[in-house]
Amino acid sequence: MTRPSLVFYCQHSLGLGHLARAWTVADALSSHFRVTLWSGGPLPAGLTPPASCEIIALPPVAVNEDGRLVSLDPACPVETALDVRRDTMLRGLTTERPAVVVIELFPFGRKKFERELLPLLEAAQSASPRPVVVCSLRDILVGRGDRQMEHDERARVLVDRYFDAVLVHADPSFARLDEFFRPVQPMRTPVHYTGFVAGGPLPQGRSGRAGIVVSGGGGRFAGSLFMTAIEAHRRLTHAHVLTIVAGPLCDASTWQRPVTASGGHPLIRLRQSVPDLSAEMAASRLSISQCGYNTALDIVRARVPALVVPFAERGETEQTDRARRLAALGVLRMLSADRLNAATLAAAMEEVLAFEPAQPALDLNGAHRTTHLLKALVEGARPAGDRYVAVHERLA
Q: What is the pLDDT of residues 317-327, one digit of tens each?
A: 899 999 999 99
CB 346 within 8 A of CB 230: no
- Cis geometry, peptide bond prior to residue 107 (ω within 30 degrees of 0): yes
163 vs 175: CA distance, rounded Å: 22
Alpha helices in the chain (DSSP H): 17-29, 78-96, 114-126, 148-162, 223-233, 252-262, 277-282, 293-302, 318-328, 342-352, 366-378, 391-395
Averaged pLDDT for residues 186-197? 96
Long-range contacts of 54-61 (CB under 8 A, 24+ apart): 56/88, 56/92, 58/84, 58/85, 58/88, 58/89, 59/84, 59/85, 61/11, 61/13, 61/85, 61/113
CB 223 within 8 A of CB 254: yes
Name residue 375's beta-bridge partners: none
Does residue 204 register a pLDDT over 50? yes
Please report the pLDDT score of residue 392 as a whole number. Answer: 29
Name residue 231's beta-bridge partners: none
Please report the pLDDT score of residue 146 as a whole number. Answer: 83
Please report the sign of the dihedral spanned by the C-alpha atoms of residue 295, residue 300, residue 304, residue 305: positive
Does residue 377 register a pLDDT over 50? yes
Q: Which residue has the higher pLDDT, 195 or 275?
A: 195
Does residue 352 register a pLDDT over 70? yes
The angle, 0 to 180 degrees and rounded to 10, between the axes of the packed helices 17-29 and 366-378 is 60
pLDDT for 294-308, tens place per residue? 999 999 999 999 999
Q: Helix (H, G, I), strand (E, B), or coil: what is residue 35?
A: strand
The phi, psi pair for 116, rounded to 5°, reads -100, -25
The mean pLDDT value of the chain amounts to: 90
Chain centroid, CA 177 distance in Å: 16
Averaged pLDDT for residues 85-112? 96
pLDDT for 214-257, tens place per residue? 999 888 788 999 999 999 999 999 999 999 999 887 888 889 99
Q: Which domains does the chain have, with CATH numbers?
A: 5-198+364-395 (3.40.50.11380), 212-352 (3.40.50.2000)
305 vs 164: CA distance, rounded Å: 41
Task: Measure the CA angle with vertex 82, ends 77 and 88; round to 5°.
Answer: 125
pLDDT for 134-186, tens place per residue? 999 999 998 888 889 999 999 999 999 999 999 999 999 999 999 999 999 99
357 vs 341: CA distance, rounded Å: 24
pTM of the model: 0.91
Closest CA to 94 of 7, 4, 1: 7
Please report the pLDDT score of residue 205 as a whole number. Answer: 53
Q: Pseudo-torsion of CA 161, 166, 172, 175, nearest 10°?
A: -70
Strands (E), 130-246: 132-137, 165-168, 191-193, 212-215, 242-245
114 vs 106: CA distance, rounded Å: 8
